[in-house]
Chain A
Amino acid sequence: GENVEQHPSTLSVQEGDSAVIKCTYSDSASNYFPWYKQELGKRPQLIIDIRSNVGEKKDQRIAVTLNKTAKHFSLHITETQPEDSAVYFCAAYLIRNDMRFGAGTRLTVKP
């Protein structure tokens, strides 16, 4: 089955700096890679996703890159703000909407 590794587990940045979170997956057949943001006590919410036929996708301050050959994908947040502080989860979709999640990265943005 699919296995998703996520790094780092915690990340602390100064407001305005960039943050990068990386994930690797094991099954080359995986074809969809969403990122979820989970604020304390709240539900996970989709923030951006990428399909295997695309190498990069950007939405304002958030971007995701995918390297299919190396089987890794990354989340990039630029000009970080305190409200970006949350736990971020990557996931890899294999078949029948069977998604495997990474362990999460706790991002803290210091004002």
Chain B
Amino acid sequence: EAEVAQSPRYKITEKSQAVAFWCDPISGHATLYWYRQILGQGPELLVQFQDESVVDDSQLPKDRFSAERLKGVDSTLKIQPAELGDSAMYLCASSLGLAAGETQYFGPGTRLLVL
């Protein structure tokens, strides 16, 4: 069964450094999501792509976070500079499209620790 891939699985960095996360969605899935999950909480949407276009980035802290999906397939989420409060699990998910009820399939996540 196809799965969403993410790398790295774990990342430790010092504050003020730059970090980048990569996501490869399930083949054929047009919609890609980046979520942040703080320990003990549910996932919070950061940014949503439909193909290569950003559909919703209203919750993305744009002063330090950026995301791209240049060819409408894989995607990169970057944080620069990282802050202590960015320590969290970053989950990528994909779905066939934007229609109501399209199942979102999650990747294994990247756990970030900022020291």
A positions within 8 Å CB-CB of B: 4, 6, 31-32, 34, 36, 42-46, 49, 51, 89, 91, 93, 96-104
Please give me the residue from chain A that is nearest to B3 by CB atom.
A43
**B14 on interface, CB distance cutoff 8 Å:** no
| CB pair B98 A96 closer than 8 Å | yes
Distance between B113 CB and nearest chain A CB, rounded to angstroms = 15
Contact partners of A51 in chain B: CB under 8 A: 100-101
B102/A44 in contact, CB under 8 A: no
Count, chain B residues at interface, CB 8 A: 27
Q: Which residues of A contact B105 (CB under 8 A)?
A: 46
Partner of B104, one of A31, A96, A97, A103: A97
Within the complex, which residue of A31, A46, A96, A103 is in contact with B42, where a contact is CB–CB below 8 Å? A103
Chain B residues with CB under 8 A of A34: 103-104
A interface footprint on B90-107 (CB within 8 Å = 1, 0 otherwise):
010001011111111111
From B91, B97, B98, B101, contact of A44 by CB (8 A): B91
User: Least Cβ distance of B103 to chain A in Å?
Assistant: 5
The distance from the CB of A33 to the nearest CB of chain B, in whole angstroms, is: 10
A97 touches B91 (CB 8 A): no
Q: Is the CB of B106 within 8 A of A44?
A: yes
Given contacts A96-B98, A97-B97, 9 further A-B contacts (CB under 8 A): A32-B101, A44-B43, A44-B91, A49-B103, A93-B100, A97-B95, A97-B100, A101-B44, A103-B42
Using A32-B101, A97-B98 as known contacts, say yes or no to A43 and B109 having CB atoms under 8 A apart: yes
B101 touches A43 (CB 8 A): no
Q: Which residue of A lies closest to B44 (CB)?
A: A101
On whether the beta carbons of A31 and B109 are closer than 8 Å, the reply is no
Also in contact, A31 and B100, with CB within 8 A (given A43-B91, A44-B43, A45-B106):
yes
9 closest A-B pairs by beta carbon, nearest first, are: A101-B42, A43-B106, A32-B101, A44-B106, A97-B98, A32-B100, A43-B108, A96-B98, A89-B42
